[in-house]
């Protein structure tokens, strides 16, 4: 089967419609049992598109090895006009549910990006969000939303990380950021070491599931999720 490579065609179409910047967004950590979920955003200046090339090797982040993602990480940061990663904690996921939490994480990323790039309310922004559902716009109307200079016009793209270069780059940056955080968390507290997040990044690997059964959830687990029950016969 022929591999699909991301292009800048969707970004160029949005630029032709008047967007000054096109933003690609993607989430990581939605299905994890522990740790935050994160949303990465990458900004492309529309004026740069005529001579901008898709970075070598960029693809759906799930198709790349951890070593390959890490190797291209710095180049992607330099390629973009701006980038940011927003997070929602395991406690916020438990309180709000994953969809609203992802919306707030995306708005946090957008706020950091826009403030860092000094984008004002008069700036025309278009966003491409990976997936079939816009969880950003509804979250912007909530009390939990951060201060945002301008809310971009959001369009969704199924398999956006496979088709849109900006989304693919955002996915890689967010994935590397979250993976590195989970490794640091695993090493930060001996009580967290048995869950082996340095290997599974908070997802439900056999070793992680076994540790939850044996020890119960940690302070960083999503307790509202269907975690394995502790086995009273162990210990």
Do 104 and 148 form a contact (C-beta atoms < 8 A)?
no
Distances from the Cα of 53 to the Cαs of 8, 9, 15, 48, 233, in angstroms? 8, 11, 15, 10, 58
Tokens describing residue 162: 């496979």
CA distance 86 to 22: 18
CA distance 49 to 34: 38
- DSSP annotation of 30 reads T
To the question of whether residue 27 is assigned a binding role by annotation, the answer is yes
To the question of whether residue 189 is assigned a binding role by annotation, the answer is no
To the question of whether residue 141 is assigned a binding role by annotation, the answer is yes
Nearest to 172, CA basis, from 59, 84, 78, 86: 59
Q: Would you mind telling me the total number of residues written for the chain in this entry?
A: 235
Nearest to 200, CA basis, from 186, 214, 187: 186
Write out the binding residues for a divalent metal cation. Answer: 26-27, 141
Write out the binding residues. Answer: 26-27, 141
């Amino acid at each position: 089967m022929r591999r699909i490579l991301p292009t800048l065609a969707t970004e160029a179409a949005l630029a032709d419609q008047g967007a000054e910047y096109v933003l690609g967004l993607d989430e990581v950590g939605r299905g994890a049992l522990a740790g935050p979920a994160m949303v990465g955003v990458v900004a492309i200046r529309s004026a740069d598109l005529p001579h901008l090339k898709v970075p070598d090797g960029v693809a759906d982040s799930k198709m790349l090895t951890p070593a390959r993602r890490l190797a291209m990480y710095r180049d992607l940061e330099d390629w973009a006009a701006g980038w940011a990663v927003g997070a929602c904690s395991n406690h916020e996921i438990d309180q709000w549910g994953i969809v609203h939490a992802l919306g707030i994480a995306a708005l946090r990323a957008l706020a950091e990006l826009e403030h860092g790039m000094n984008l004002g309310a008069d700036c025309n922004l278009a966003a491409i969000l990976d997936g079939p559902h816009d969880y950003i716009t509804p979250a912007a109307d909530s009390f939990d939303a951060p201060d945002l200079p301008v809310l971009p016009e959001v369009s969704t793209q199924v398999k956006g990380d496979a088709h849109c270069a900006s989304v693919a780059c955002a996915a890689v940056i967010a994935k590397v950021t979250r993976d590195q955080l989970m490794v640091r968390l695993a090493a930060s507290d001996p009580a967290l070491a048995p869950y082996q997040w340095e290997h599974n990044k908070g997802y439900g690997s056999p070793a992680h599931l076994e540790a939850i059964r044996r020890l119960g959830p940690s302070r960083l687990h999503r307790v509202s999720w269907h975690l394995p029950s502790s086995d009273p016969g162990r210990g």
